[in-house]
Amino acid sequence: MPGEVKALTGLRGLAVLFVLFSHVNKAGFMLFDGFDFSGSGRYGVFIFFVLSAYLLTRQFIEQARELDFLPHVTSYFFKRLLRIYPLFIMTLMVYYLFHRYGHTIWVFNVQDIVKNLLLLDGVGVFWAITVEFQYYFLIPLVSLLMLKYHDKKIMISFFSLAFLVLYAINVEAEFKSNLMPFLAIFYMGSFLAYLQGHFEKLKPLLNSDNYEKYLGGLGLIILFFFIILVPKFYGFLVGRDISIGYFHHQFMLFGVLSSLLIFIAINTSGLLNKFLSSRLLCFIGKISFSMYLGHYIVIAAFSKYSHLLASNVSFLLIMLVTILLSYISFKVVEEPLYGLRHRIKVI
Low-confidence ranges of the chain (pLDDT < 70): 1-3, 66-67, 208, 341-347
Q: How many CB atoms lie within 10 A of CB 276?
A: 25
* Whole-angstrom distance, CA of residue 17 vs CA of residue 14: 5
Burial class (CB in 10 A: 0-12, 13-18, 19+), 122: buried
The whole-angstrom separation of Cα 91 and Cα 94 is 5
Provide the 8-state DSSP code for 125: G
Give the separation between CA 154 and CA 162, rounded to whole angstroms: 12
Residue among 47, 110, 86 at smallest CA distance from 262: 47
Determine the Cα–Cα distance for residues 271 and 287; give it in Å rounded to an integer: 24
Best CA proximity match to 185, nearest among 257, 252, 132, 245: 252
Q: What is the rounded distance in angstroms from the CA atom of residue 147 to the CA atom of residue 252?
A: 25
Question: Which secondary-structure segment (H or E) carries 152?
Answer: none
CA distance 229 to 207: 33
Reduce the DSSP state of residue 309 to 3 states and report it: coil
| Cα–Cα distance for residue pair 104/107, rounded to 1 Å | 6
What is the pLDDT, as a whole number, of residue 213? 83
User: Which pLDDT does position 347 carry in this prediction?
Assistant: 40
The Cα 90–Cα 251 span in angstroms is: 30
> Global pTM?
0.94
Report the pLDDT value the prediction gives residue 293, as an integer from 0 to 100: 97
